Amino acid sequence: YPAWYGKGNVLSALGRYNAAIDAYKKTVKIKPDFYLAWRDQGALFAYLYRPYEALISFNQVIKYKPDDFAVWYLRGNILTTNFQEYEEAIAAYNKAIQLKSDFADAWMGKGEALYRLGNYEKAREAAQEAIKLKPNDPEVLSFLNALEEHSLPPYPVDSIPNQREVERRNYPPRKQPNLLW
């Protein structure tokens, strides 16, 4: 199985994602509990907009490696974005946060799911946790600004730089996140 897994990684790095998925499938056929192959396969399925297969892969990772915070986060993203299963997504984000409390992206994902449920106050609380961890993140600042439109009590503006201040700092454009760590 290590040869198939290695081949999957090389193919993935070369951008041959479907061939990489095939190699990961062969890996887990030989060694079903090899969670890294499930995780990398799931990340590729997510990248290729194949959410059902991504979710199945992430569920397998959780079965064999339940303390993988990144997979809980990725599972939450799939549930939020592709299935509108916000309650289940929040549970996944909470598990990611439980495993790694300083994971700002999980706080942000939780906030977005809460927002979609209409729970703006709790969404704001989650976003404020994210901004504590990533104080100048334009995405989090934009989300906080969107929440302000829902007539929430204002968050402490003096503790968070405003959007224009962040834009003036000429941050480099956000890269596609590396789902495979």
CATH number of the domain bearing residue 25: 1.25.40.10
pTM for the structure as a whole = 0.79
Least confident of 39-48, 51-60, 131-140: 131-140
Answer yes or no: is pLDDT of 169 > 80.
no
Greatest Cα pair distance in the chain:
56
What is residue 147's predicted lDDT score, i.e. its pLDDT?
83
Give the mean pLDDT of 9-34. 98
| Chosen domain end from 38, 64, 90 | 64
Answer yes or no: is pLDDT of 152 > 50.
no
Give the mean pLDDT of 52-62. 98
What is residue 62's predicted lDDT score, i.e. its pLDDT?
98
Distance CA 6, CA 22 (A): 12
**Three-state secondary-structure class, residue 87:** helix
Answer yes or no: is pLDDT of 168 > 70.
no
- The reply to whether 24 and 102 lie within a common domain is no
What is residue 166's predicted lDDT score, i.e. its pLDDT?
42
- The reply to whether 71 and 29 lie within a common domain is no
- The reply to whether 59 and 100 lie within a common domain is no
What is residue 33's predicted lDDT score, i.e. its pLDDT?
97
Cα–Cα distances in Å, from 98 out to 34, 67, 109, 145, 175?
A: 23, 10, 14, 27, 26
Give the mean pLDDT of 25-45. 98
Q: Could you give the number of structural domains in the chain?
A: 2
Cα–Cα distances in Å, from 159 out to 28, 95, 125, 156?
A: 48, 28, 14, 6
What is residue 164's predicted lDDT score, i.e. its pLDDT?
45
- The reply to whether 135 and 147 lie within a common domain is yes
| Chosen domain end from 64, 86, 115 | 64
